[in-house]
């Protein structure tokens, strides 16, 4: 392991410690002893990484600057004047900039204004994007020893880093979708997702900024000074066969065969994957952690859904203090959002799998299959809620509920196709089939005629004694006009008046746009119905 790689790893370690310390110390206001402690830790961390990595030399001038950093940080524990503490903060920022100057000039006493300006610019830019350079350029991950505990440490850390945001987002959506599941999580685990997110976000932001700043103090803003020979990084372009592409795994090729890559587009896709740095690719451990965590989350949520899935409306009605609206309305959007999130997660993880590790892909297939099965149950739960919401004891159809139902149908088709293609080693066939499934569903929507269907469904509910939202139904497009006109005699006088006034306004709009270029069959039929007196009176604008 070369010096640059060792320094990069030390920078990551120090920034993680400072990020966690920052979360524990800096989220408390007003500032005081917390600033003193954290700046002392910052100075200690910077001393460690700059002494190891060089960063322009190590001399007494830096020691004086570290002393100034600790001094001005300590003043936050002694004084309370806002103006004085503001100046202390400015002094800390100036010292941090000065500590980057040795990257540009070895003798700090000869640094000019330009050097300080360059150091300030470098510090700011590196704090924003420097971590990318540390991970992708400075550290030669292949040279990091992978024996004993360290062999699994990095994959586990990467798996947990990937899992945390995914489980937080999906877990938050599932908690928002079901009150009983939310209550169980809050009482059993005693965690507040928002609080966890705040802690993780704050720690991450602090660690990210510190990592980038430390990188600037050691290497500057450009590539590290390690030679290509030292880092072991090869910039040679990957080679491709124009006849066939092999994975290097005889067992995989025996199962799926070699893949022709004679087309330019295929070679570009392969080139994109082959150009990915090694640290971005996923192995067995990361795959197991991410997909296993999501599967456990889904399974835990479904335990609370089973009574409703099997009990249906009867259970909802018999549960004390539990209203249909609370069950049906709560969670439809969240469950659909969960269903949407799963697809890009699975596709991305499958694409990032290390192709030379057949065990990782086998584990992916198993866990992804389980996840899709659990997701189908979640989608059934969402569909059931939509059915209850729009059924005989529900609240009627709306455009959102209608399109959500068909969207769930499309998602089901897509996940079935995912299993038939991606999980069987035929990833390249997935996108085209998913495209045609979407086109098929959209074509079916034209056959159903959504707005007409919504009005007729709501009128049927009105006949069963449910409230009819005349203003909403009349606000739908002219596709719904025939159904509205046919149902006028069955509406109350107030609803009829609301519908007629809205339809008359639509007739006026049709008059104002009587241009052949704007002709539309649905608007033409609606205008004919309105102008023929079917609404009970002529349009107000006529």
> How far is the CA of 390 from the CAs of 284, 382, 449, 461, 526, in angstroms?
44, 12, 17, 9, 26
Residue 363 shares a structural domain with residue 501: no
- To 10 degrees, the CA torsion angle through 218, 222, 224, 229? -170
Nearest to residue 108, comparing CAs of 3, 223, 217? 217
In a domain, 469, yes or no: yes
The winner for highest mean pLDDT among 167-171, 254-258, 412-416 is 412-416
Residue 85 shares a structural domain with residue 66: yes
Which one has a higher pLDDT value, 276 or 205? Answer: 205
Residue 58 shares a structural domain with residue 197: yes
In a domain, 25, yes or no: yes
In a domain, 273, yes or no: no
Give the number of other CB atoms < 10 A from CB of residue 30. Answer: 10
Residue 135 shares a structural domain with residue 12: yes
- Taking only the tens place, the pLDDT of each residue in 56-89 is 456 788 889 999 999 999 999 998 888 899 999 9
- H runs (alpha helix) in 391-513: 399-421, 430-448, 450-463, 470-474, 481-486, 493-512
State residue 228's pLDDT score.
40
- In whole angstroms, give the CA distance from residue 442 to residue 455: 20
State residue 87's pLDDT score.
92
> What is the domain range of residue 215?
3-147+192-219
Strand partners, 259: 245
- Taking only the tens place, the pLDDT of each residue in 465-522 is 888 999 999 999 889 999 999 999 899 999 999 998 888 777 665 555 566 777 788 8
Res 230 pLDDT > 70 = no
Res 198 pLDDT > 50 = yes
Nearest to residue 213, comparing CAs of 38, 50, 73? 50
Res 275 pLDDT > 70 = no
Residue 435 shares a structural domain with residue 478: no
State residue 329's pLDDT score.
62
In a domain, 243, yes or no: no
Res 542 pLDDT > 60 = no
State residue 508's pLDDT score.
61
pTM, two decimal places: 0.63
Residue that is last in its domain, among 401, 432, 448: 448
| pLDDT band for position 239 (cuts 50, 70, 90) | very low
Question: What's the whole-number average pLDDT of the chain?
Answer: 80
- In whole angstroms, give the CA distance from residue 387 to residue 406: 12
Stretch 283-295: mean pLDDT = 90
Residue 418 shares a structural domain with residue 366: yes
| pLDDT band for position 2 (cuts 50, 70, 90) | confident
Residue 38 shares a structural domain with residue 123: yes
| pLDDT band for position 125 (cuts 50, 70, 90) | very high
- Taking only the tens place, the pLDDT of each residue in 443-464 is 999 999 999 999 999 999 999 8
In a domain, 487, yes or no: yes
| pLDDT band for position 22 (cuts 50, 70, 90) | very high
Least confident of 55-64, 124-133, 174-183, 336-345: 55-64
Give the number of other CB atoms < 10 A from CB of residue 4. Answer: 24
Residue that is last in its domain, among 414, 431, 448: 448
In a domain, 475, yes or no: yes
SS3 call for 193: helix
Give the total residue count for the chain. 542
Side-chain-side CA neighbours of 178 within 13 Å: the count stands at 25
Least confident of 4-18, 204-218, 303-317, 377-391: 303-317
What is the separation, in whole angstroms, between the first and last Cα of the chain?
A: 86
Stretch 263-276: mean pLDDT = 55
Residue that is last in its domain, among 393, 416, 448: 448
Q: Are 328 and 381 contacting, i.e. CB atoms less than 8 angstroms apart? A: no
| pLDDT band for position 255 (cuts 50, 70, 90) | very low
> How far is the CA of 332 from the CAs of 240, 297, 312, 389, 398, in angstroms?
47, 18, 15, 10, 13
Give the number of other CB atoms < 10 A from CB of residue 23. Answer: 19
- In whole angstroms, give the CA distance from residue 414 to residue 418: 6
State residue 320's pLDDT score.
45
In a domain, 263, yes or no: no
Backbone angles phi, psi at 282, to 5 degrees: -105, 140
Residue 212 shares a structural domain with residue 349: no
Q: Which residues contact 426 (CB under 8 A, 6 or more apart)?
A: 256, 420
Residue 127 shares a structural domain with residue 79: yes
Tokens representing residue 290 in the block: 């991410």
Q: SS3 for 60-121, per residue?
A: HHHHHHHHHHHHHHHHHHCCCCHHHHHHHHHHHHHHHHHCCHHHCCCCHHHCCHHHHHHHHH
Q: Which residues contact 316 (CB under 8 A, 6 or more apart)?
A: 308, 322, 324, 327, 388
Residue 426 shares a structural domain with residue 462: no
- Taking only the tens place, the pLDDT of each residue in 492-501 is 999 999 998 8
Strand partners, 282: 353
Res 232 pLDDT > 60 = no
Residue 437 shares a structural domain with residue 465: no
| pLDDT band for position 326 (cuts 50, 70, 90) | low
Total tally of structural domains belonging to the chain: 3
Residue 33 shares a structural domain with residue 135: yes
State residue 393's pLDDT score.
72
Least confident of 113-122, 369-378, 521-530: 521-530
Nearest to residue 55, comparing CAs of 16, 109, 96, 105? 105
In a domain, 45, yes or no: yes
């Amino acid at each position: 392991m070369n010096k640059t790689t060792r320094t990069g790893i030390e920078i990551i370690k120090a920034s993680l410690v400072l990020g966690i310390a920052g979360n524990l110390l800096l989220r408390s206001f007003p500032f005081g002893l917390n600033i003193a402690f954290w700046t002392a830790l910052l100075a200690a961390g910077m001393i460690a990484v700059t002494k190891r990595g060089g960063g322009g030399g190590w001399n007494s001038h830096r020691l004086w600057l570290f002393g100034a950093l600790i001094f001005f940080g300590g003043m936050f524990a002694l004084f309370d004047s806002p103006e004085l503490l503001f100046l202390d903060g400015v002094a800390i920022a100036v010292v941090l900039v000065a500590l980057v100057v040795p990257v540009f000039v070895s003798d700090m006493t000869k640094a000019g204004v330009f050097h300080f300006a360059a150091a300030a610019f470098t510090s700011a830019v590196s704090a924003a994007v420097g971590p990318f350079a540390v991970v992708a350029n400075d550290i030669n991950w292949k040279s990091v020893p992978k024996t004993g505990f360290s062999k699994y440490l990095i994959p586990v850390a990467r798996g947990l880093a990937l899992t945390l945001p995914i489980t937080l987002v999906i877990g938050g959506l599932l908690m928002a979708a079901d009150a009983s599941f939310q209550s169980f999580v809050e009482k059993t685990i005693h965690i507040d997702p928002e609080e966890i997110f705040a802690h993780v976000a704050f720690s991450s932001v602090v660690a990210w900024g510190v990592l980038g700043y430390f990188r600037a103090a050691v290497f500057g803003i450009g590539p590290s000074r390690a030679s290509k020979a030292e880092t072991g990084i090869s910039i040679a372009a990957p080679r491709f066969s124009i006849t066939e592409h092999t994975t290097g795994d005889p067992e995989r090729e025996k199962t799926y065969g070699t893949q022709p890559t004679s087309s330019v587009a295929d070679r570009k896709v392969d080139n994109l994957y082959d150009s990915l740095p090694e640290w971005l690719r996923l192995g067995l451990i990361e795959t197991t952690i991410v997909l296993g965590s999501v599967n456990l989350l889904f399974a835990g949520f479904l335990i609370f859904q089973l009574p409703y899935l099997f009990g249906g409306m009867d259970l909802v009605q018999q549960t004390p203090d539990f209203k249909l609206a609370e069950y049906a309305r709560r969670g439809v959007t969240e469950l659909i959002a969960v269903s949407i999130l799963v697809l890009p997660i699975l596709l991305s993880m499958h694409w990032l799998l290390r192709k030379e590790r057949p065990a990782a892909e086998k584990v992916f297939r198993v866990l992804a299959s389980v996840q899709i099965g659990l997701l189908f149950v979640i989608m059934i739960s969402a569909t059931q809620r939509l059915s209850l919401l729009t059924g005989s004891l529900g609240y009627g159809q709306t455009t959102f509920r209608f399109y959500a139902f068909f969207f769930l149908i499309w998602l089901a088709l897509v996940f079935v196709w995912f299993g038939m293609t991606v999980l069987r080693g035929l990833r390249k066939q997935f996108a085209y089939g998913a495209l045609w499934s979407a086109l098929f569903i959209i074509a079916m929507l034209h056959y159903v005629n959504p707005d007409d269907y919504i009005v007729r469904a709501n009128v049927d509910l009105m006949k069963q004694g449910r409230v009819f939202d005349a203003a909403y139904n009349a606000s739908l497009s002219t596709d719904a006009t025939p159904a509205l006109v046919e149902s006028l005699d069955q509406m109350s006088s107030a609803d009829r008046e609301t519908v007629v006034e809205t339809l008359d306004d639509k007739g006026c709009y049709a008059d104002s746009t009587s241009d052949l270029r704007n002709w539309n069959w649905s608007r033409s039929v609606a205008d004919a119905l309105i102008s023929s007196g079917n609404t009970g009176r002529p349009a107000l604008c006529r």
